[in-house]
Structure 1
Amino acid sequence: MSFVYDERTSASRYVDVVWHTVDTSDGTYLASADARWDMIFTVGAHGSRVLLSGPSSQPTVVPYVAGNRNLGIRFAPGAYFTHVPVDAMRDRTVALPMPSPDTFVLAGSSWPFPGTDGVLVDARVDALVEALADRGLLARDDVVETALAGDPVPLSTRTVERHFTHTTGMSPRRVRQIARAREAVDRLQRGGGIADVAHALGYADQAHLTRDLKRLTGYTPGQSRDRDEPV
């Protein structure tokens, strides 16, 4: 791995994790499918950058550059941005305008760039997320989270599907496949045996696990187990 990675959980109901990386060389990273919205803040030799990423349904090649410092917000299941249709952002990442090194523009308004390191960054990220939510630009669909958790949802199958497509641009089945593949990689990296992981997560057999991981993460179970990078 050519970058140093760490993450923290967040107290915000809109956020899953906040991660930090420092790129130690030039290269590329293959990011697994992730049916979540993300924001990435970067500071490097050529200035600052803010990226907004929509939910991804397939692996994505992400370049990294030596010396860059990055901060990412991985939003919670069901959290979504309201100012742009999800179909316009699925499997897409856009750079947001930055009128100054300290501000970026989202939905026609300027917002503070939180930075990428330092003791105040976590508090600034939390404040930014809450401000986006207060302005109605960030919302959360509890139906999606409830359904993904396996809890009963008192709605018709078609209504649940509409909630998923509105927030992720994907069907519930696809989102669950992605979540299961990511869980499989996490278990493999923590030492789980391939056959055991396949059985525990309900794959028909090891071949089924291999097909899903290759399609959704870009790696086989064996490669995932030995990969020294986060999912």
Structure 2
Amino acid sequence: MSFLYEEKASRSALVDVVWRTVDTSDGTYLAAADACWDMIFSDLAAGGRRVLLSGPSSQPTPVPYTAGNRNIGVRFVQGCYFTHCAAADMCDRTIALRMPQATAFDLADVRWPFPDYETVDDLVEAFAAHGLLAHDQIVESILVGRPPGVSVRSVQRHFAKVTGLSPHHVRQISRARAAVNRLQTGEAIADVAYDLGYADQSHLTREVKRLTGCTPGQSQHRGEPV
């Protein structure tokens, strides 16, 4: 791993994790599919700053990094979404937001302050107070296995609105990420396949490779976060 990585829990229920990195060399990180919205705030080694907004990803995505860059990231929970744009238009897409000055960026026709690791939660709270972030209870219910109380067609509409993906695809992504997290702790591939409901070890191998870019064996020794 050619970057230093640190993460912390957020005080916001809309956030899965807040992380920061210092890139120690040039390289490319293969980000697994996550079906989540993400934001990345970078201080660039070449000078200047950058803010990226990423929609839900359905497949592994190569992410280049450059020595000297310092990055802060926010991965929002599945079920959380930005209200100013359609998820279908942002699925597997990352855009650079306009920065009229070094200390601010524009999003949804509003100017926001560029955060640091300590204040990024304040920014998330400001997004939510402005109505820019929302959370879909139907999506959350499906992902945690609770009966949603609505029709299958309604569930599909909710997932399309939040992620741009089908419920089945999001569940596949969640299971593959859970598999990798367990493999990285040293659990046996066969045990993980059984516990997570894969048909067999070959099924797990195909799905993990397709959705994370790495085989289960590679995942066991991968030092990078998923």
- Is it true that 1:176 corresponds to 2:171 in the alignment? yes
Q: How many Å separate the matches in 2 of 1:157 and 1:7?
A: 36
> What is aligned with 1:50?
51
Look up the match of 1:118. Answer: none
What does residue 127 of structure 1 align with? Answer: 122
Q: Deviations over 1:130-150 (max 9, x none)?
A: 111111111111111111011
The one-letter amino acid paired with 2:99 is M
Alignment of structure 1 residues 156-167 onto 2, 5 Å:
156-167=151-162
Q: Does 1:74 align with 2:69?
A: no
| CA displacement at 1:174 relative to structure 2 | 0.3
Instruction: Give the TM-score normalised by structure 2.
Output: 0.98
Structure 1 runs not aligned, ≥5 long: 116-120
1:70-117 CA-to-partner distances (Å, cap 9, x unmatched) read 0000001110001111111000000000011100000111100003xx
C-alpha RMSD of matched pairs (Å)? 0.8
**Number of residue-to-residue matches in the alignment:** 225
TM-score (norm 1): 0.96
> Sequence identity, in percent?
64
User: Aligned letter for 1:137?
Assistant: L
**1 CA distance for matches of 2:157 and 2:223?**
37
User: Which 4+ runs in 1 deviate beyond 3 A?
Assistant: none
> What amino acid sits opposite 2:183 in the alignment?
L
Unmatched runs of 5 consecutive residues or more in structure 2: none
Distance 2:60 2:78 in 1: 18
DSSP 3-state at the match of 1:66: coil
CA distance in 1, matches of 2:137, 2:158: 9
Q: Which deviations, in whole Å up to 9, do the C-alpha atoms of 1:30-59 show, x marking residues without a partner? A: 000010000000002221100000000000
* Aligned position for 1:227: 222
- The corresponding residue for 2:205 is 210
Q: Counterpart of 1:188?
A: 183
Shift of 1:22: 0.7
Alignment partner, residue 18 of structure 1: 18
Partner of 2:8: 8
Counterpart residue type for residue 86 of structure 1: A
